[in-house]
Amino acid sequence: MHGAKGFKSGQPDKYEKTSASVGRERKTYGNKRSAPPKKSGRKPTWMTKSMAEDYSREDILRATVIEFLSYFVFVICVCCFVMGSQSSYNYYLTKSVSTQFVEKEFDTESGFSIRFTGINSAADLWMYLEKHFVPSLFWEYTYDKESMKDENAMNIMYDNRVLGVPRIRQVKVRNDTCVVHTYFRDRFKGCYGRYNSLNADKDDFGPGGATAWIYSSEEETKSMSHTGQVATYTGDGFYTDLFRDRNRTIELIQYLKENEWIRRGTRAVIIDMTVYNTNTDLYAGML
């Protein structure tokens, strides 16, 4: 048709994308020479990994700072709640019981004065039980010398009362829990290794007839494990409950001492008791 501008055969229109131009665009985005458009609008407060692909670097940094500050405030609130809920009476009750039974010094057979943490022999432990522990359980007078003796109660430091009775428990290891070199087996007949649940001695010993000489499992003792400086000691073992009467308690400790309740295989002696303070309505456990 005359007057119409013609095009050469096969020549593309300048507004029409060819497969080659589309390929170049894909290659350009694939090489990240030109980033895809970012989302516009409200900036995010929280950011996840999948969301970060759709926002700029500034938005990601802003969301990261907000998350960090929020977590910091959360930690402060938790610490204030935990620490603020503790009463000073809890500390003073625990401190007073610890001072009475652990930090006070007592005389040993050798004439030296040591604390509970300084006990390093069976003789020291028996001296502690006889001369310090038992007298600390039976306070018979108040500040004004008024008698507060009660046959059915154990009073500690005037206003603290023992709930139930204290329990003394020990855990032992067997004689075959370590190996003696062949050169020295004729010299050393016994070898008691480190305590663990596999090395625990569960055989009855001594006079028998009571839980002090007969093994009891954790289900029977209802005691928890205790972590010491050397090992973690399970809640089983050989135990005896003391009496509410002072004289009977002293006789029981003498009986255990005379029959060598603490022996070479003994690895830990644990004292359990719970103290209640009537003035503050608080409990203190001793282990």
Average pLDDT of the segment spanning 104-113: 88
Average pLDDT of the segment spanning 196-209: 92
Which pLDDT score is estimated for 4?
Answer: 46
Which pLDDT score is estimated for 145?
Answer: 62
Average pLDDT of the segment spanning 40-62: 65
- The pLDDT tens digits of the residues spanning 22-37 come to 444 444 444 444 444 4
* pLDDT-derived band at 42, boundaries 50, 70, 90: low
* pLDDT-derived band at 45, boundaries 50, 70, 90: low
- The pLDDT tens digits of the residues spanning 72-96 come to 999 998 888 777 666 777 888 888 8
| Per-residue CA distances from 164 to 5, 52, 131, 271, 274 (Å) | 112, 62, 22, 13, 8
Which pLDDT score is estimated for 190?
Answer: 84
Which pLDDT score is estimated for 28?
Answer: 45
Which pLDDT score is estimated for 40?
Answer: 47
Q: CA geometry: angle at 62 spanning 56 and 63, to 5°?
A: 95
220 pLDDT more than 70: yes
| Higher-scoring residue by pLDDT: 38, 59 | 59
Going by C-beta distance under 8 Å and a sequence separation of 6 or more, which residues neighbour residue 128?
106, 116, 119
Average pLDDT of the segment spanning 165-180: 92
Average pLDDT of the segment spanning 146-175: 81
Return the percentage of the chain with pLDDT > 90, whole number.
34
